[in-house]
């Protein structure tokens, strides 16, 4: 080379590339893009030759089987959908569950001769199907070749063969395509791709081998098949119900659920694992990070979407998401939980919505909720930053936990509500309920977080002028007061608090809290002695717009006289416990004789609170005080959910499948003011898809009457639900039960 | 009301709101936005009155202490930085570690009288500081009032008081501001905010109470203080070294590390927990999801950024990210690990970079890596989708694990390299190394994933024409062949494989694999008997451009003759094991006598591989075959990293602090072709900040000489590193050691 030995000088500036930067690829990183969509699958050729053809091409293959017809036996009244508990899905395709045999019938050009003819049914899912990845599964009707799915001949008569296929109980859940393939010495001849041979394979709580096996038919019917939801809200001593149409069988909902996993780019190969599916879905049900299904909004302004309180079911939300590919506005916790429940039931994972009353929230797994008092004993609202949600809804789903030691399978908490202040955690669970009960917060996923939601202490601090603070009262029983879910097969509620916690004060409870502390949950260590004066607020049932009296009782348990400087505060709060406005304040000085009690009456006029009401119309009363003789702090808190007016729903008599019926929704504005921008929504499982009507104004005292016609789709018990929602009045609902004859 | 009893009609269409939709707020969700930035803090007023002033205003407060001056004692030669091991940080601010006393000196208008005067030093971090959140910390110099940080008077003479402050060993890590406050009966009088009283509080491996306590001075010096990194790559039997300047003490790096947490919107209150800090950082070091620090690129095309092989240290990357607020291009695993290491050491968390040779990767925690063979025994490249990385780098960091049972503290794996095909997991760890060793894969975070990276089996399948596959060979020892890190206090390597795994074939190893299987790791169950013929490939040390011979040995262990139909394939691979191009193929038939061995020589000419070379110039040889007599499959695989030409670096003699020196970088293009678009980068810890030079072309046989002037910043041993990088030749480096006299 002529350059040998020459020295080069540096250039002044590196060249600047022109044009847009190339898309960064990972071609050197992996051999093949990973399949992450179930909406598409790679086609397999109709003829796959073995080696090269001879000089004259392939011989005529008339001696081998030719496939004339394939019957997926997919009508709801046929054996497959009945036996697989999938007959309620409104879908023309075959839908089966894994680990359980289904039948398909192949018709050939001549009778099948098992001794001579070789054929297989083949299933593929996703793009680039591969045997080693479990995305291409050949099934042979004889036992010669074993593959992960079982096959057998059930019937061989005339030119038709009925084949029984059992998908592996661990296989991927989603949409497959089926081929019938005949082996010849020259190659494989198979059916041309045709959408009619698409089939869906779901989780199967009915078979032992499936990780979601649930050994109780009543529970399975409730947690997989039931579409009618009851979600509890209000307060633990004044429980309200919300009806919800999960609609997991409605047309398009199953495809929408698969789309959610596609949108999350979840690898197809992970879709057989209920742990991974539920964890991914807990992230995707909220729009944070990943443009998931629902946008959270707790602001009170829902102008640009549907108010969380206005939804009646999941169908509209899921269909809208899968069609528009855009997050749906708006949700709060029960909407996340209800739509998540639809997703889980639709895919066959047993699930239920639960409500935790007084839920410690947004505190990043801390076991303390801090309330700051001034030296006088009055609440320092500016410095009290934590809030306790009146209630919080999440989901439980049922599955084994092979990733944990024995004994932690069963119900698992998953929560799709984004936790605003936690460390970027916009997914939660699955966390074993058993692990939460036993304080085994070290087990994945997020058990410590859920543990705190049901076990936090409320710590009252007294703040000195110089800024130092001293814990003066610790309430161990306020948070996680009660956990409720719907009773399987019934419309009553079921208290499942004991599945989350041992009884208060029990030895087990103490052990569990110590265990959780070992795993890094921080508790308040100091335990100031309880005061000898108790404050008591009675339970109240108040309708919106009522004037009422609050009777605050001071009980002196000591043998001496006590004087309490008390502060009584009434405020309108969001269901998150956040204060919207204080509408009442009193600071009585109360003198109580030894072993006596005194009632302090506080009159609450509706005109004081009506103008401040937000959303779910909750009033929060907090009384705190300082005992002069002892300096001890006393306190009591109570949430009073105001009762809303009801919608009246009336159904016509004698309902029969496919015969027209009427439903009448009626509402009278009970207030002296106008209601503006009113939406009324209505739907009923198996009765009617969601419908909405808009009223620009309902003057004070006026009524609306909405008559709607519908034809029931199927027989059995159902309900029609409706909601009415407008900025000045939210969360008005009504429902009516009906039995449809076949 | 006149409307009483009227019925309203629905409106035809709801109104369409005009203008852009309002920003959704969470005003009803939380009382206060959570503080997630450390770059800003709320100021506290200079005078905070107690109650209202009287009718004449406040009285003159001449009798109370007035603050004249505050000395943070922050010069490197003063006591604070020396004792806190922070004197190397290039920063004008005070930098201390938590759980250890530091001193500040306050000067008043008159002598301080402990009996009469009351003052405090106050520390605040982030916006909306609150005592109950630990973001506002008053420290009293006497024991009257206990707060979480300790204070005492060390010296009181003249008008000056020296105060000793000990930050709680669990306090948040980051940038604080300090005030001095004097209490008067009328209110609090304090210093005006002034940046000179900013201070940084870091993790402290030197004190027992800190979660990152590491009880070994040599390890601490290496894993916190050492800036010179050696990162291993190449192959387990031909190890190469890469030098790296972590640069954790360089100007601006500490602020850049805090910015990373700000950018992640990590709540300030979580920043004292090394588990949360390291987990968050593992997500933020890569740009996936969250616009984190580094963009991964394995494509070979780095036109629009810096080639991963070209970086010499972390400083440029971190400074560029914090200035531009944009992800930096480009990284591969060692760049992620090296920059993560800087982050950890800079904040005071002991950390090291480790290299795992033959790392199972991108397989979502599966314990199997599949290789598909045709019926003949030849590799089916189209169907072999898994790859084994020649090596993979991650980090270990040292901390207690209060969230896990006893015994799982110590070294924890964290990994910032995004795992492409795993379920959206763009963060990994901290996973306890002890838990990985014992198969306790149920413990958070991601232990199962790391377990698979060091423990996967390589499974060879034979694929029949009909598509069914049968495992024919399982290799249990290929993956996780060796784990290396740098020896503390030395420049040699340390084999830490035994910290991850029990010896192969031991009883403990079997128990661990069973335990991991219990927790859901899937292994190949079948274990085909090993063939009685072994294939052996020798270790090779080849320089780029060399012709060489590959001697493939067939060893017959049986008493009979054996004939093997063998397939020898040579390909150029990325370090990820992905094939770029096959450049050699032979299919010899080899006959081996009983108990004999035969060597098959394969000549490899450089002209065959040179044109295909990518990146790190790795050749991969795979030989497979089928024994005719037994049908058994034999195989051997070997990666041969080609040796690159070196850069020569020469330093001038007799280096002294602040005296100018010269460094000379020399390189000769040894090839017959031109090198185009060449970047040379150079830096040295404590010697010189990163510098870069560009050469548009280095003709074949030509040389470059780059002479640079610099003045060492500090005394001691150091190194100067340089890299040369261009599309046709990557990963050329050189280094020179030097001792600087004071």
Question: With contacts defined as CB-CB under 8 Å, which chain A residues touch B31?
Answer: 384-387, 578-579
What gap in Å lies between CA A219 and CA A396, rounded to an integer? 13
Average pLDDT, chain A: 89
What gap in Å lies between CA B164 and CA B151, rounded to an integer? 6
What gap in Å lies between CA B361 and CA A709, rounded to an integer? 59
**A415 tagged catalytic:** yes
pLDDT of res. A39: 81
**A233 tagged catalytic:** no
Q: In a mutagenesis test of the B interface, which of A30, A518, A613, A671 is the best target, namely the one with the most B β-carbons within 10 Å?
A: A30
pLDDT of res. B393: 97
What gap in Å lies between CA A393 and CA A239, rounded to an integer? 14
Per-residue pLDDT averaged across B656-679, rounded? Answer: 93
> Could you tell me which residues come within 8 angstroms of residue B571 by beta carbon, excluding any fewer than 6 positions away?
B579, B580, B581, B582, B583, B584, B619, B620, B622
* A298 to B32: CB separation less than 8 angstroms, yes or no: no
> Could you tell me which residues come within 8 angstroms of residue B723 by beta carbon, excluding any fewer than 6 positions away?
B309, B310, B311, B312, B647, B679, B680, B681, B682, B731, B732, B733
Give the Å distances, CA to CA, from B201 to A540, B100, B178, B204, B280: 51, 10, 12, 9, 19
Categorize the per-residue pLDDT at A361 as very low, low, confident or very high, splitting at 50, 70 and 90. Answer: confident
List all residues of chain A from 260 to 289 with a beta carbon under 8 Å from chain B.
264-267, 269-270, 276, 279-280, 283, 289
Q: Hey, is the C-beta of A442 within 8 angstroms of any chain B C-beta?
A: yes
Q: Lowest mean pLDDT of A261-265, B10-14, B438-442, name the range.
A: B10-14
* A21 to B304: CB separation less than 8 angstroms, yes or no: yes
Instruction: Choose between A434 and B18: higher pLDDT.
Output: A434
Nearest alpha-carbon partner for B540 in B235, B206, B322: B235
Nearest alpha-carbon partner for B401 in B436, B356, B376, B360: B436
Question: With contacts defined as CB-CB under 8 Å, which chain B residues touch A614?
Answer: 28
Q: What is the pLDDT of residues B390-410, one digit of tens each?
A: 999 999 999 999 989 889 999
* B576 to A28: CB separation less than 8 angstroms, yes or no: yes
Question: With contacts defined as CB-CB under 8 Å, which chain A residues touch B697?
Answer: 8
Categorize the per-residue pLDDT at B53 as very low, low, confident or very high, splitting at 50, 70 and 90. Answer: low
List all residues of chain B from 571 to 600 with a beta carbon under 8 Å from chain A.
574, 576, 578-580
Phi, psi dihedrals of residue B606, rounded to the nearest 5°: -60, -30
Q: Hey, is the C-beta of A420 within 8 angstroms of any chain B C-beta?
A: yes
Q: Which residue has the tokens 């709540």?
A: B267
What gap in Å lies between CA A159 and CA A157, rounded to an integer? 6
pLDDT of res. A656: 94
Q: Lowest mean pLDDT of B202-206, B257-261, B496-500, B633-637, name the range.
A: B633-637
Instruction: Choose between B386 and A476: higher pLDDT.
Output: A476
Nearest alpha-carbon partner for A163 in A255, A91, A244, A101: A101
ipTM of the complex: 0.80
Q: Is the pLDDT of residue A289 over 70?
A: yes
Q: Is the pLDDT of residue A120 over 70?
A: yes
Question: With contacts defined as CB-CB under 8 Å, which chain B residues touch A463?
Answer: 131
Categorize the per-residue pLDDT at B54 as very low, low, confident or very high, splitting at 50, 70 and 90. Answer: low
What gap in Å lies between CA B640 and CA B552, rounded to an integer? 14
pLDDT of res. B218: 97
Q: Lowest mean pLDDT of A43-47, A208-212, A707-711, B56-60, name the range.
A: B56-60
Name the residue of chain B whose CA is nearest to A2's CA: B701
Q: Is the pLDDT of residue B158 over 60?
A: yes
> Could you tell me which residues come within 8 angstroms of residue B401 by beta carbon, excluding any fewer than 6 positions away?
B275, B408, B409, B412, B430, B432
Q: What is the pLDDT of residues A645-695, one digit of tens each?
A: 999 999 999 899 999 999 999 999 988 889 999 999 999 999 999 999 999
Per-residue pLDDT averaged across A513-530, rounded? Answer: 79
* B267 to A364: CB separation less than 8 angstroms, yes or no: yes
pLDDT of res. A213: 98
What gap in Å lies between CA A165 and CA A149, rounded to an integer? 7
What gap in Å lies between CA B625 and CA A204, rounded to an integer? 43
Q: Is the pLDDT of residue B180 over 90?
A: yes
Residues β-bridged to residue A618: A573, A641
Q: Which helix (H) or strand (E) holds B129?
A: none
Per-residue pLDDT averaged across B102-129, rounded? Answer: 92
Q: Is the pLDDT of residue A23 over 80?
A: no
pLDDT of res. A110: 94
What gap in Å lies between CA A27 and CA B201, rounded to an integer? 43
Residue ranges of alpha helices (H) inside A438-538 are 447-455, 497-500, 507-518
Per-residue pLDDT averaged across A24-35, rounded? Answer: 67
What gap in Å lies between CA B307 and CA B95, rounded to an integer? 34
CA end-to-end span of chain A, whole Å? 94
What gap in Å lies between CA A339 and CA A141, rounded to an integer? 40
Instruction: Choose between A51 and B602: higher pLDDT.
Output: B602
pLDDT of res. A468: 75
List all residues of chain A from 125 to 144 with a beta carbon under 8 Å from chain B.
130-133, 136, 138
pLDDT of res. A59: 67
pLDDT of res. B57: 67
Got the DSSP string for B508-567?
HHHHHHHHHHHTT-------PPPPSEEEE------BTT--EEEEEEEEE-SSS-EEEEEE
Q: Is the pLDDT of residue B23 over 50?
A: no
Per-residue pLDDT averaged across A484-495, rounded? Answer: 96
Q: Lowest mean pLDDT of A376-385, A433-442, A514-523, B444-453, name the range.
A: A514-523
Winning range, highest mean pLDDT, from A28-42, B40-54, B332-346, B575-589:
B332-346
- Helix, strand or coil for residue A154? strand
Q: What is the pLDDT of residues B274-333, one digit of tens each?
A: 999 999 999 999 988 778 999 999 888 898 899 999 999 999 999 999 999 999 999 999
Q: Is the pLDDT of residue A152 over 50?
A: yes
pLDDT of res. A707: 96
Q: Lowest mean pLDDT of A716-720, B479-483, B571-575, B594-598, name the range.
A: B571-575
What gap in Å lies between CA B32 and CA B360, rounded to an integer? 46
Q: Is the pLDDT of residue B1 over 50?
A: no
Paired tokens of A271: 């879709």
Average pLDDT, chain B: 89
Instruction: Kindly state the percentage of chain B with pLDDT values over 70.
Output: 94
Residue ranges of alpha helices (H) inside B103-241 are 217-220
* B403 to A519: CB separation less than 8 angstroms, yes or no: yes
Got the DSSP string for A473-487?
EEESSSTT-EEEEEP
Residues β-bridged to residue B495: B484
pLDDT of res. B144: 67
CB B254 within 8 A of CB B233: no
Paired tokens of B124: 């605040």
pLDDT of res. B2: 47
Q: In a mutagenesis test of the B interface, which of A7, A23, A24 is the best target, namely the one with the most B β-carbons within 10 Å?
A: A24
What gap in Å lies between CA A480 and CA A498, rounded to an integer? 11
Number of cross-chain residue pairs from A and B with Cβ atoms under 8 Å apart: 317
Signed CA dihedral, B167, B172, B177, B180: sign only: negative
Nearest alpha-carbon partner for B656 in B719, B711, B707, B718: B711
Instruction: Kindly state the percentage of chain A with pLDDT values over 90.
Output: 61
Measure CB to CB from residue B300 to each of A28, A422, A468 and give the nearest one.
A28
Q: Which residue has the tokens 């990943």?
A: A290
Question: CB count, 10 Å around CB of A502?
Answer: 17
Signed CA dihedral, B310, B312, B313, B317: sign only: negative
Residues β-bridged to residue A187: A49, A184
Per-residue pLDDT averaged across B417-435, rounded? Answer: 82
Instruction: Kindly state the percentage of chain B with pLDDT values over 90.
Output: 61
Q: Is the pLDDT of residue B645 over 80?
A: yes
Phi, psi dihedrals of residue B257, rounded to the nearest 5°: -65, -40
pLDDT of res. B223: 98
pLDDT of res. B184: 85
CB B562 within 8 A of CB B629: yes
Instruction: Choose between B14 and A248: higher pLDDT.
Output: A248
Angle at B265 between CA B260 and CA B270, to 5 degrees: 90
Q: Is the pLDDT of residue B453 over 70?
A: yes
Per-residue pLDDT averaged across A329-343, rounded? Answer: 97
Nearest alpha-carbon partner for B332 in B458, B453, B255, B233: B233
Q: CA of B253 to nearest chain A CA: how many angstroms apart?
A: 24
CB A668 within 8 A of CB A265: no
pTM value > 0.80: yes
What gap in Å lies between CA A136 and CA B466, rounded to an integer? 12
* A188 to B466: CB separation less than 8 angstroms, yes or no: yes
């Amino acid at each position: 080379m002529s350059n040998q030995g020459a020295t080069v000088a540096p250039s002044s500036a590196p060249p600047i590339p022109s044009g847009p930067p190339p898309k960064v690829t990972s071609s050197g990183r992996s051999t093949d893009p990973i399949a992450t969509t179930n909406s598409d699958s790679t086609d397999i050729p109709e003829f796959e030759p073995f080696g090269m053809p001879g000089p004259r091409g392939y011989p005529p293959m008339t001696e081998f089987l030719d496939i004339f017809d394939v019957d997926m036996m997919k009508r709801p009244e046929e054996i497959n959908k009945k036996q697989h508990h999938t007959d309620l899905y409104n879908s023309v395709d075959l839908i089966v569950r894994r680990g359980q045999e289904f039948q398909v019938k192949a018709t050939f050009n001549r009778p099948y001769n098992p001794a001579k003819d070789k054929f297989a049914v083949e299933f593929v899912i996703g793009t680039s199907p591969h045997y080693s990845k479990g995305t291409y599964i050949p099934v042979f009707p004889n036992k010669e070749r074993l593959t992960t799915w079982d096959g057998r001949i059930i019937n061989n008569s005339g030119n038709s063969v009925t084949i029984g296929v059992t998908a592996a109980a661990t296989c991927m859940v989603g949409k497959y395509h089926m081929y019938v393939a005949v082996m010849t010495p020259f190659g494989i001849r198979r059916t041309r791709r045709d959408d009619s041979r698409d089939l869906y394979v779901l989780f199967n709580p009915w078979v032992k081998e499936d990780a979601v096996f649930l050994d109780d038919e009543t529970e399975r019917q409730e947690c997989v098949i039931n579409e009618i939801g009851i979600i509890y809200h209000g307060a633990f001593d004044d429980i309200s119900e919300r009806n919800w149409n999960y609609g997991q069988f409605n047309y398009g909902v199953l495809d929408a659920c698969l789309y959610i996993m596609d949108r999350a780019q979840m690898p197809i190969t992970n879709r057989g694992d209920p742990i991974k599916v539920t964890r991914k879905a807990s992230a995707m049900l909220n729009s944070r990070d990943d443009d998931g299904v629902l946008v959270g909004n707790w602001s009170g302004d829902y102008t640009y979407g549907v108010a969380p309180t206005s939804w009646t079911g999941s169908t509209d939300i899921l269909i809208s998401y899968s069609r528009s590919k855009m997050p749906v506005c708006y949700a709060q916790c029960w909407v996340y939980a209800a739509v998540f429940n639809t997703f889980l039931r639709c895919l066959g994972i047993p699930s239920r919505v639960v409500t935790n009353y007084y839920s410690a929230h947004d505190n990043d797994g801390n076991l303390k909720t801090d309330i700051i008092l001034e030296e006088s004993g009055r609440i320092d609202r500016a410095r009290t930053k934590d809030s306790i949600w009146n209630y919080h809804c999440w989901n439980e789903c049922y599955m084994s936990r092979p990733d944990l030691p024995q004994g932690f399978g069963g119900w698992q908490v998953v929560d799709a509500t984004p936790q605003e202040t936690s460390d970027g955690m916009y997914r939660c669970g699955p966390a074993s309920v058993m692990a939460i009960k036993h304080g085994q917060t070290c087990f994945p996923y997020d058990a410590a977080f859920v543990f705190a939601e049901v076990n936090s202490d409320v710590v009252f601090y007294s703040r000195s002028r110089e800024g130092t603070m001293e814990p003066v009262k610790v309430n161990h029983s306020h948070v996680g007061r009660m956990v409720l879910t719907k009773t399987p097969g019934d419309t009553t509620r079921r208290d499942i608090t004991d599945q989350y916690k041992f009884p208060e004060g029990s030895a087990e409870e103490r052990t569990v809290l110590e265990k959780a502390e070992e795993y890094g949950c921080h508790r308040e260590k100091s335990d100031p002695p309880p005061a000898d004066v108790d404050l008591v607020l009675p339970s109240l049932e108040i309708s919106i717009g009522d004037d009422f009296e609050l009777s605050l009782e001071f009980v002196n348990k000591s043998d001496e006289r006590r004087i309490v400087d008390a502060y009584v505060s009434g405020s309108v709060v969001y269901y998150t416990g956040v204060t919207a406005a204080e509408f009442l304040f009193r600071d009585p000085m109360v003198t109580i004789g030894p072993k006596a009690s005194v009632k302090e009456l506080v009159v609450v006029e509706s005109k004081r609170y009506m103008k401040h009401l937000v959303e779910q119309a909750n009033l929060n009363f907090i009384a705190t005080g300082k005992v002069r003789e002892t300096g001890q702090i006393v306190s009591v808190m109570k949430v009073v959910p105001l009762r809303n007016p009801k919608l009246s729903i009336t159904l016509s008599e004698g309902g029969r499948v496919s015969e027209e019926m009427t439903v009448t929704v009626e509402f009278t504005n009970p207030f002296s003011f106008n209601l503006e921008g009113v939406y009324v929504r209505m739907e009923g499982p198996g009765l009617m898809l969601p419908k909405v009507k808009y009223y620009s104004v309902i003057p004070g005292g006026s009524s609306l009457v909405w008559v709607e016609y519908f034809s029931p789709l199927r027989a059995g018990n159902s309900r029609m639900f409706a909601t009415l929602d407008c900025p000045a009045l939210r969360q008005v609902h009504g429902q009516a039960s009906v039995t449809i004859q076949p």
